[in-house]
Amino acid sequence: MIALVVDALNYVGIVAFAVSGALKAGEKDMDLLGFMVLGFSTALAGGIIRDVLLGRTPPVNLTYLPYPLTAIAASLATFALYDKVNKYRDVVLYPDALGLGAFSAIGADVAFSRGLGPFGVAVMAAVTAAGGGVVRDVLAAEVPLILRREIYATAAAVGGFIYIALYYAFGRGVALLGTTAAVTAIRLASLRLGWELPHRGRRLGALNAGP
Amino acid sequence: MIALVVDALNYVGIVAFAVSGALKAGEKDMDLLGFMVLGFSTALAGGIIRDVLLGRTPPVNLTYLPYPLTAIAASLATFALYDKVNKYRDVVLYPDALGLGAFSAIGADVAFSRGLGPFGVAVMAAVTAAGGGVVRDVLAAEVPLILRREIYATAAAVGGFIYIALYYAFGRGVALLGTTAAVTAIRLASLRLGWELPHRGRRLGALNAGP
Amino acid sequence: MIALVVDALNYVGIVAFAVSGALKAGEKDMDLLGFMVLGFSTALAGGIIRDVLLGRTPPVNLTYLPYPLTAIAASLATFALYDKVNKYRDVVLYPDALGLGAFSAIGADVAFSRGLGPFGVAVMAAVTAAGGGVVRDVLAAEVPLILRREIYATAAAVGGFIYIALYYAFGRGVALLGTTAAVTAIRLASLRLGWELPHRGRRLGALNAGP
């Protein structure tokens, strides 16, 4: 039952991430293939990198068809309805936050079951949830957004530690669902409250702003 | 015999792809190492990524010496004869199309022999044939060409499906050769006839083109 | 004893590489996460890519905690003392050269012990030592420095051949230490004497420099 909820949220994440990739493809004047590749990569490259790092090949995101087909369908729909989706892009932030939580929980779950320690579990949670966005931005020849602004990969990494704590206290089901909920909550709170990690450049920018 | 033809076309592809990488290195004012790395990557990174995704490590493109040495030799030759090669760069499009076909066929062959389904075979054909060009453009800090214009990775992905159909109908030899021929033909036709996948940005561009 | 020296120099390399990544993060106005990710990647992504290519998963740089924690600590220290570290960034070139040597030796050692031939060993030495810098620059949306200027990856690749020669002549210990020393010396000499690999673009630049 709990696994079913996390699985459903996983699909929510695939769709939301694929839409964010496809919108970036549109921004960069890519063609239909670009929409599909960026949608696919944003949604599934994080899990693929995780699987390669853990030696789980071929990666499940390539062999379990419902995942890539969902990502590609969402990318094609974004292409077809580009102006409309682009207009409501801020609405996507909510399913995107759910996806971040589900991806973080699933990444932690996979890494933990392979015997990684807490640090490795946190890294794999972050890679699963935020790696796709990094690939999207690299393919768009941009500095990855998650390295510059917003609490995003950080929330997913924290999810790795939450997963382990919940796992030992309440078992796997609660760990999966609780991690998803906690990471989603951190992400939404950071959006609403404008939380950001500290910067260095800003101060330098101020220094450079003289006449 | 058929395997020999495909193997010969594979070398044609390595040379043509390495030249395209080395020309990009020249464009970006890279040094001799940059020429070798971009030539090597354009020719062989697609196959390396394929092997990593399929768990075939170390990748054949690193351990079977004739492949990397051919790529590096072609890169050095492009460095030495830069102005001449650059002047005739459009001529390279023809061996490049042959290479695209051979790489697509070989990628499909490897993936199919590892038991992947049609979707996975198509993705691996495209990754083998077009992944190197993506790495080239990322190392040049550019948006990958194949995501913006031209029928390229798309032709290679279609090759994956062609391979499977030919394999079941006529066996492996015909599948290898037929896929190579079909992908090369699609690519050359798309160049000659100016085929492109649909865009979104263009329309937006038109909207933005007002006074 | 020799292994201890190389291990100590390995930590010198991790710190120096992480500082170089963190400084790049500051240059690009990244936040605290960006500092950690670029510091971590510059120091450890080369070894991670090497391990993935050799099928050693999960990579030691993720599972052996002292490595990532050292890289992250150095990144945080660079963040905290940014102006000071940035001011003395040229000083970092010396430990960086030591790290280049140690990473090259360790990469060659790992590849050689997995049975790779001389070419593969040289590539793995270069990937271990210079791969992190490439990842740093790609994440900063820049053309990798090592492809444009300076003897860097080239020195590390040469280290692969030096390792094999020393291994057969004097055994593993001398190979590790001798490679570290030789690569460091090549790198420092190239810095002091302004050695560069030949370019093409420069001449073209001169041709384009007309009125």
pLDDT tens-digit profile of C3-34? 788 889 999 999 999 999 999 999 999 999 99
The predicted pLDDT at position B4 comes to: 86
Q: Do A62 and B120 touch (CB under 8 A)?
A: yes
The predicted pLDDT at position C207 comes to: 40
Q: Do C31 and A197 touch (CB under 8 A)?
A: yes
The predicted pLDDT at position B209 comes to: 37
The predicted pLDDT at position B2 comes to: 76
pLDDT at residue C209 is higher than 60: no
The predicted pLDDT at position A208 comes to: 40
Q: Sorting pLDDT into bands at 50, 70 and 90, what band is A6?
A: confident
Rounded to whole angstroms, the Cα distance separating C197 from C147 reads 10
pLDDT at residue B17 is higher than 90: yes
Residue-wise pLDDT for C46-63, tens only, equals 999 999 999 999 999 999
Angle between helices B32-54 and B66-80 (to 10 degrees): 150
Distance from CA of B1 to the nearest CA of A (A): 31
Q: Sorting pLDDT into bands at 50, 70 and 90, what band is B199?
A: confident
The predicted pLDDT at position C42 comes to: 97
The predicted pLDDT at position B206 comes to: 39
- Considering chain C, what is the average pLDDT of its residues? 92
Chains that touch A (3 or more CB pairs under 8 A): B, C
pLDDT at residue B50 is higher than 80: yes
Phi-psi region of B143 (alpha: psi -120 to 50; beta: other; left: phi over 0): beta
pLDDT at residue C205 is higher than 90: no
pLDDT at residue A206 is higher than 50: no
Average of pLDDT values for A74-102?
Answer: 94
Residue-wise pLDDT for B68-78, tens only, equals 999 999 999 99
Rounded to whole angstroms, the Cα distance separating C161 from C122 reads 6
Q: Answer whether A129's CB lies under 8 Å from A14's CB.
A: no
The predicted pLDDT at position B150 comes to: 80
Q: Do B53 and A58 touch (CB under 8 A)?
A: yes
Angle at B161 between CA B158 and CA B164, to 5 degrees: 150
Q: Identify the closest residue of chain B to C141 by CA–CA distance.
A: B141
Average of pLDDT values for B73-92?
Answer: 94
Of B54, B141, B199, the CB nearest to A58: B54
Rounded to whole angstroms, the Cα distance separating B14 from B60 reads 14
Residue-wise pLDDT for C114-123, tens only, equals 999 999 999 9
Rounded to whole angstroms, the Cα distance separating B153 from A75 reads 17
Count of CB atoms within 10 A of residue B73's CB?
A: 15
Cβ–Cβ pairs < 8 A, chains A and C: 84
- Considering chain B, what is the average pLDDT of its residues? 92
| Reported ipTM | 0.91
Close Cβ partners of A128 (under 8 Å, ≥ 6 residues apart): A46, A47, A50, A103, A104, A106, A107, A110, A156
Of A37, A52, A139, the CB nearest to B52: A52
Percent of chain A whose pLDDT exceeds 70: 95
What's the maximum distance between 2 C-alpha atoms anywhere in chain C?
62
The predicted pLDDT at position A200 comes to: 81
Which residues, listed in sequence order, are joined to residue A2 by a DSSP beta bridge? none
Of A54, A55, A154, the CB nearest to C33: A154
Q: Sorting pLDDT into bands at 50, 70 and 90, what band is B79?
A: very high
Average of pLDDT values for C31-48?
Answer: 97
- Considering chain A, what is the average pLDDT of its residues? 92
Average of pLDDT values for A58-86?
Answer: 96
Percent of chain B whose pLDDT exceeds 90: 84
Give the residue from A23, A63, A24 showing the smallest Cα distance to A44: A63
pLDDT at residue B112 is higher than 80: yes
Residue-wise pLDDT for A120-161, tens only, equals 999 999 999 999 999 999 999 999 999 987 899 999 999 999
Percent of chain A whose pLDDT exceeds 90: 83
Rounded to whole angstroms, the Cα distance separating C194 from B64 reads 35
Q: Do C199 and B29 touch (CB under 8 A)?
A: yes
Q: Sorting pLDDT into bands at 50, 70 and 90, what band is B201?
A: low
Q: Identify the closest residue of chain A to C58 by CA–CA distance.
A: A54
Predicted TM-score (pTM) of the model is 0.93
> Could you say which DSSP state residue B199 is in?
B
The predicted pLDDT at position C2 comes to: 76
Q: Do C34 and A123 touch (CB under 8 A)?
A: no
Q: Do C117 and B69 touch (CB under 8 A)?
A: no
Q: Do B147 and A82 touch (CB under 8 A)?
A: no
Tell the burial category of A84 from Cβ atoms under 10 Å away from its Cβ (0-12, 13-18, 19+): exposed
Tell me, letter by letter, the H, E, C secondary structure of chain C: CHHHHHHHHHHHHHHHHHHHHHHHHHHCCCEHHHHHHHHHHHHHHHHHHHHHHCCCCCCHHHHCCHHHHHHHHHHHHHHHCHHHHHHCHHHHHHHHHHHHHHHHHHHHHHHHHCCCCHHHHHHHHHHHHHHHHHHHHHHCCCCCHHHCCCCCHHHHHHHHHHHHHHHHHHCHHHHHHHHHHHHHHHHHHHHHHCCCCCECHHHHHHHHCCC
Integer CA distances (angstroms), C119 to A66, B187, C65, C160, C183, in order = 41, 34, 31, 8, 17
Percent of chain B whose pLDDT exceeds 70: 95
